[in-house]
Amino acid sequence: MLQVGLTHFLIVSAILFSLGIYGIVTRKNAVMVLMGIELVLNSANINFIAFSKYGNFGLSGQVIALFVIILAAAEAAIALAIVLNIYKTFSNVNVDEIDHLKE
Amino acid sequence: MNFYDIIFYIFAAITLLSALFVVTTRNIVHSAFYLLFTFFGVAGIYVLLGADFIAISQILIYVGGILILLLFGVMLTNKITNVEIRTGTVHMLPAAIASGIFMGAVVAVMVWTEWKSEPSVTPLTTTKDIGHLLLTDYVLIFELLGILLLVALIGAASIARRDKE
C-alpha cells in the first residue's frame, strides 16, 4: 500500500478537490472564491496527468492539462475584471451581499 | 518504500497542508501566499508523473500570472491600511460536513475501484511530443484557445476600464 501508484495520485486529487469546494462555499470575499476555483482546476489537472501516465494513452492527457491551465488563466483575468467593477459599484466584494446587477 | 515514494509523500503533504491553510486562514494575503506553496507542490507532483513541460507551465502561468493577478485583486478591492485583510465566512459547519462526506465518498471509490493500470514508459522529455500533438491532433483546439485568449484580453480590458465622465 505504501508503494505509490495511480490510487495515491487520485486520492491527493480528491482531497484537493474537496478543499477547493469547501473554500468556494464558505468564503465571502470573491477573490477567495476564485482561489477555491483554482484549487479545483489543479485537482482536475492531477487526474488528467495521472491517467495519462498510468492509463497508457500517450500524451493526450498532458495536452488537455495544458488547455485547462490556459482556460484558468483566461478565467482569472475576466473574473478579476468583474470583481474590480463590482468593487467600484458596491464598495465591497462580499458575494453574499451582492444580489443586484447594478445599483 | 523507495526514493520516489518519499518524494511523492513530501509533495503531497506540502500540497494538501497548504491547500488546507488556503481555505481555513482568515487573512486573505496569507491565503494567497499559501496558494503559492500549493501550486509548487502540484508542480512537483506533475514532475513525478513525468510531465516536465506541464510542471514548468504550471509554475510560469499559475505562480507568475494567476497568483500575481489574485494578489492585485486583493490589493485593489480592499481599503488597505495594513496587511490584515480579513474575509468573512458563511455556512462553516454544513460546508465542512458536506465536503467531508464528498471527500470520503470519492476517496472510497478511488480506493476500491480496480484500476487497469499499465504505466506507460514516459519519454525523458515530453516537450517535443506535446508540440507535435498540438500542431496535429489538437490543432483546432489550439487555434480556438488562441482566439479565446485574445477575446479574454480585450474583454477584461473593456470590462475593467474607467467610464468616461
Instruction: Tell how far CA A14 is from the center of its chain.
Output: 13
Handedness of CA A55, A60, A64, A70 (dihedral sign): positive
Q: What is the pLDDT of residue B116?
A: 80
DSSP chain A: --S--HHHHHHHHHHHHHHHHHHHHHB-BHHHHHHHHHHHHHHHHHHHHHHHHHTT-TTHHHHHHHHHHHHHHHHHHHHHHHHHHHHHHHS--BTTT---S--
- Looking at the domain assignment, is residue A54 inside a domain? yes
- Looking at the domain assignment, is residue A98 inside a domain? no
* B-chain residues near A41 (CB < 8 A): none
Number of compact structural domains in chain A: 1
- Looking at the domain assignment, is residue A18 inside a domain? yes
Spatial CB neighbours of A32, under 8 Å, sequence gap ≥ 6: A23, B28, B31, B87
Nearest CA to A32 among B24, B80, B61?
B24
**Residue A17 lies in domain:** 6-91
More confident residue, A100 or A73: A73
DSSP B126-143: -HHHHHHHHHTTTHHHHH
Q: Is the pLDDT of residue A101 over 90?
A: no
Predicted model pTM: 0.91
The ipTM is: 0.91
Cβ–Cβ < 8 Å for B34, B20: no
User: How many angstroms separate the first and last alpha carbons of chain B?
Assistant: 67
CB-based contact B156 A77, cutoff 8 Å: yes
Q: Is the pLDDT of residue B83 over 60?
A: no
B83 CA to chain A: closest CA distance, Å?
16
Query: By percentage, how much of chain A surpasses pLDDT 70?
Result: 98
More confident residue, B124 or B40: B40
CB-based contact B133 A63, cutoff 8 Å: yes
Between chain A and chain B, the number of residue pairs with CB atoms below 8 A apart is: 233
SS3 of residue B120 by DSSP: coil
Q: What is the pLDDT of residue B164?
A: 62
CA distance readout (Å), B29 to A3, A28, A31, B34: 37, 15, 11, 9
CB-based contact B155 A53, cutoff 8 Å: no
Bridge partners for B27 per DSSP:
B86
User: How many angstroms separate the first and last alpha carbons of chain A?
Assistant: 57
Across B68-83, average pLDDT? 79
Bridge partners for A27 per DSSP:
B89
The CATH number linked to A18 is: 1.10.287.3510
Nearest CA in chain B to A46: B46
A47 CA to chain B: closest CA distance, Å?
10
pLDDT digits (tens, 9 = 90+) for B13-70: 999 999 999 999 888 888 999 999 999 999 999 999 988 999 999 999 999 999 999 9
- Looking at the domain assignment, is residue A53 inside a domain? yes
* A-chain residues near B73 (CB < 8 A): 31, 34, 80, 83-84
Across A63-78, average pLDDT? 93
